[in-house]
Amino acid sequence: MLNRILRQWPACLAIGLALGTKAFYSHAGADELLWVLAPSAWLARFVGGIDLVYEQGAGFISHTHHMVVGSSCAGVNFLVICLLCLYFSFATRVPNKARWLLYSGLISFAGTIAANGLRIVVSARLWSADIYGGEMTPELVHRLVGVAIYYASLLSIYLVVESRIGQRASTMAPLAWYLGISLGIPLAGRVYGEAPPGFVAHAAWVLTVALLLTLIHLLVKALPYARRNRLHCKS
């Protein structure tokens, strides 16, 4: 019994890291999140030419694009989701779970920086675009872009890891982890209280975007098998 518990320490550590990161993020400001904000801002400057300048206590500011990249833009929730999704989806398919936890953390951190950088660039370009009117507000577009980029990044990372490992994992794992942490945890924390204003609309948009991208993900995964079956039938 003790040996079985000891063998599960990487899983316990993964959960502990996720909970600790969430707790730290809930009280952290921009200065405490420089470890993720700084490389994200550098990537946005390098790739998209966004003029981001660091201001202590606020984060990275682009006066040209009227944008502040602060603690809410750090993508820490995505980092946690990606870490847990990768570790628990593939831990049973690798020989060394402790090493896989380390790899999951490194992949998740790199993926977070890439997703953050892309989100900053796209948001900066869209903020001044002539696409707004009625219910299509800059705030709504910013939210949709964030959900789409983060969830698409999770799916892409999942596909790449699955391909590298050479074994198929649960197709619905990314959706379950993304919705479970981004919506399930906030909802569970408000069981005895009222949901904040706009939470229902936010949840509806998140669910819609995630389901749509999951459908595309399933179609992309099905294409090679459909093509292989066609070739087999012709032969």
Note the maximum CA span of the chain.
66
pLDDT tens sequence across 126-163: 876 667 666 677 677 888 899 999 999 999 999 999 98
- pTM for this one? 0.87
User: Which range marks the domain in which residue 106 is found?
Assistant: 2-234
pLDDT tens sequence across 24-49: 998 999 999 999 999 999 999 998 88
From the list 39, 41, 24, 121, the residue with the least C-alpha distance to 76 is 24
- Tokens 């292989």 belong to 228
Count of domains forming the chain: 1
- Residues pairing with 53 in the sheet: 61
